[in-house]
Amino acid sequence: MRFGVISTAKIGREDVIPGIQKSDHTVAAISSRDADRARQVADDLGIESAYGDYETMFAEADIDAVYNPLPNGLHAEWSMEAADHGLHVLCEKPLAVDAAEAADVFDYCAEQGVELMEAFMYQFHPRTERAREIVNEELGEIHTVDASFKFPLDNPNNIRLDPGLAGGSLMDVGCYAVSAARGFLGEPDRAFAHTRDSWDSGVDTNLAGVLSYDDGSVASVSSGFDGPDRDYYRVETDDGWLEAPNCFGPEHDQSVSLTYSVDGREVTETFDPVDHYQLQVQAFADAVESGASPPLGPEETLGNMRAIDALAQSAERGEPVAVAGSE
C-alpha cells in the first residue's frame, strides 16, 4: 500500500512514517501548507513526492491511502476529503471532536467505499494484548482500574491548548486512559469528572475522572499537561492485580514489562522491543488489501468517544453524566 501523509507533524515524521517504511508498505507522498517544508521533510525521509497542499496530493499522487495527523479539530474534515478521492484513511486519535462527528466520518467513508481506522498504536503492542489476556483468563472479577497519561507542556502556543482545534488533555492523552479502562471493563454507564485550566487557555490542562459501571466496578482516569510524566494502568481484582508502566508510548527500541499477582503469586513478564506504529500500519494495510475490516472499527472508536464526551460534559456541568448508549 502506498501512503500519502497530510502535514509534517512530529508524530508523522518521527513515529508513523518510519513505522510505515519498516513495514511492507511505502510512504509515497507528503503534503504541507508550506511546500518548502514538505520538500525538506520528503528529502530527509526518502519520500518520493512533496506537495504544497493536501488536495493536490489527493488528486495527483500515486497513493492508495492517507495518514492524517492533523490537529484534532481537522481530523474529520480532511479524512472525508481523502475519502472523496477514493483513498483509505488511517487517522490519528481522537478521530473527531465528539462521537456524533466520528459516526458521521465512518458513515461518509463507507458511502465512498473506503476504509477508515483510528490510529491508536498502543492497542497493537503485544503487551496490551497480553495484559487483557491475563486479566480475562487468569485474574478474578475486576473491581477497579486506574489509568493515567500525563506529561509537562511548556509552550503556550502548542495546538493542544487551542479550543478551536479540540485541544485539551482529555482529547490528547486522556483518550488513552479511557481506552485502557474500557479495554478491561467494557463500556461504562456513567462518568464524573473535574478539570483544571492552568494555562487559562480555554481547554482542560488536567482532568480527573471516574467511569462507573452498574455492576459496581469503577475506573479512575486522569490526564494532564502539568507535572512530571505519568503513564500507566493498574487493574485490581478480587484475587490479585496487574500493572503496566510506560504503557502508552514506549519507544520502538525499548523493552517493556507488566507485573501481575494472583493469589499471592507475583509474576513479571518482559517484552522485547517492537515498533507498535509499524504493527498498527501493517494491521491496517493488511486488512484493507485483503478486503477485511480494519481491526479497530466503529464500535471501538465510538465507544471511546462516547466515554470522552460524557467526561467532558460532566466536568462542564459539575455532576455525573450517563454515557450515551448506556441508558
Q: What is the CATH number of the domain that holds 196?
A: 3.30.360.10
Structural domain that includes position 233: 125-276+303-322
Domain boundary among 119, 140, 167: 119
User: d(Cα 98, Cα 62) in Å, to the nearest integer?
Assistant: 32
Q: Are strands 65-68 and 2-6 parallel, antiparallel or unpaired?
A: parallel
The reply to whether 318 falls in a domain is: yes
Q: Give the containing element (helix H, strand E) for 76.
A: helix 75-84
Q: Which residues of 264-291 are buried (b: 16+ CB within 10 A; e: fewer)?
A: eeeeeeebeebbbbbbbbbbbbbbbeee
The reply to whether 63 falls in a domain is: yes
Grid cell for residue 304:
471511546
For residue 195, the model assigns a pLDDT of 98
For residue 227, name the pLDDT band (cuts at 50, 70, 90): confident
- Report which residue type is found at 165: L
Same domain, 149 and 113: no
Looking up cell 471516574 gives 210
Residue of 288, 315, 298 whose CA lies nearest to 86: 288
Report field, pTM of the whole predicted structure over 0.85: yes
CB 92 within 8 A of CB 73: no
For residue 83, the model assigns a pLDDT of 98
Number of structural domains found in the chain: 2
The reply to whether 283 falls in a domain is: no
Same domain, 172 and 33: no
Ramachandran bin of 111, using left for φ above 0, alpha for ψ from -120 to 50, beta for the remaining angles: alpha
CB 117 within 8 A of CB 91: yes
For residue 149, name the pLDDT band (cuts at 50, 70, 90): very high
327 pLDDT above the threshold of 80: no
User: d(Cα 276, Cα 282) in Å, to the nearest integer?
Assistant: 10
For residue 65, the model assigns a pLDDT of 98
**CATH number, position 52:** 3.40.50.720
Domain boundary among 81, 100, 119: 119
pLDDT tens readout for residues 71-107: 999 999 999 999 999 999 999 999 999 999 999 999 9
- What mean pLDDT comes out for the span 256-268? 96
User: d(Cα 129, Cα 122) in Å, to the nearest integer?
Assistant: 10
User: d(Cα 225, Cα 43) in Å, to the nearest integer?
Assistant: 33
Same domain, 107 and 145: no
DSSP per-residue string spanning 146-180: EEEEE-----TT-GGG-GGGT-SHIIIIIHHHHHH
The reply to whether 285 falls in a domain is: no
For residue 115, the model assigns a pLDDT of 98
pLDDT tens readout for residues 266-303: 999 999 999 999 999 999 999 999 999 999 999 999 99
pLDDT tens readout for residues 164-206: 999 999 999 999 999 999 999 999 999 999 999 999 999 999 9
326 pLDDT above the threshold of 80: no
Q: Mean pLDDT of all residues in the chain?
A: 97
pLDDT tens readout for residues 268-278: 999 999 999 99
49 pLDDT above the threshold of 90: yes
Domain boundary among 119, 144, 165: 119
For residue 112, the model assigns a pLDDT of 98
pLDDT tens readout for residues 123-146: 999 999 999 999 999 999 999 999
